[in-house]
Amino acid sequence: MLTLLTALALLQPALAADGPATATVRHISDAPTRSTPSGTASVMRLAGAEEGAKNAFFAVLTIQPGGAVPVHRDATEEYLYVQTGAGVITIDGTDHTIKPGTGVFMPANAEVSFAVTGKEPVTVVQFFAGQGPEAKYAGWVAQPAN
């Protein structure tokens, strides 16, 4: 019985007052996309609050050569999987070289920055383990659907 009550307690966030979330299956070409005003980065949202997600944000982020992410902190854990390109990510003062196949975990509130170092765009699969940090993309420019 205790196991059942624990499982129900863990499911509580997914069964909020507005009901259970609806599954989303989306090809990247159909993902809502936003770009920085300069055009040096874009984010393609695969799932987030708009799709009913309550516990995470899932996207593909692309940063062009010469692009960088300024020093910042996010309130949730963040996970990246590098698909293309090369760069240096600095987490809490330590530099790490990334390339395709690299996985990155950043604890909540870590101090993070990033710079593309190669000649091709860096593309990463991005997860925020919670809602909130993705709000930074709201100020980016919405792109027309493909």
Q: Which CATH number covers residue 92?
A: 2.60.120.10
User: 139 lies in a domain?
Assistant: no
Looking at the domain assignment, is residue 146 inside a domain?
Answer: no
Please count the structural domains in the chain.
1
- For residue 6, pLDDT over 80 is answered with no
Average pLDDT (101-115) is 98
Sign of CA dihedral 132, 133, 139, 140: negative
Residue 18 domain-assigned (yes or no): no
Query: Rounded mean pLDDT of 23-49?
Result: 94
d(CA 26, CA 66): 30
Whose tokens are 């070409």? That residue is 29
| Of 1-10, 16-25, 83-92, minimum mean pLDDT range | 1-10
57 falls within a domain: yes
**Residue 22: inside a domain, yes or no?**
no
Q: Which domain holds residue 86?
A: 27-131
Percent of the chain with pLDDT over 70: 86
Does a structural domain hold residue 7? no
Q: What is the pLDDT of residue 8?
A: 33
Q: Which residue has the tokens 């309130």?
A: 75
| 54 pLDDT above the threshold of 80 | yes
pLDDT band, very low/low/confident/very high, at 120 (cuts 50, 70, 90): very high
Tokens read off for 86: 């090369």
Say how far apart CA 3 and CA 64 lie, in whole Å.
48
User: Is 20 domain-assigned?
Assistant: no
Is residue 142 in some structural domain?
no
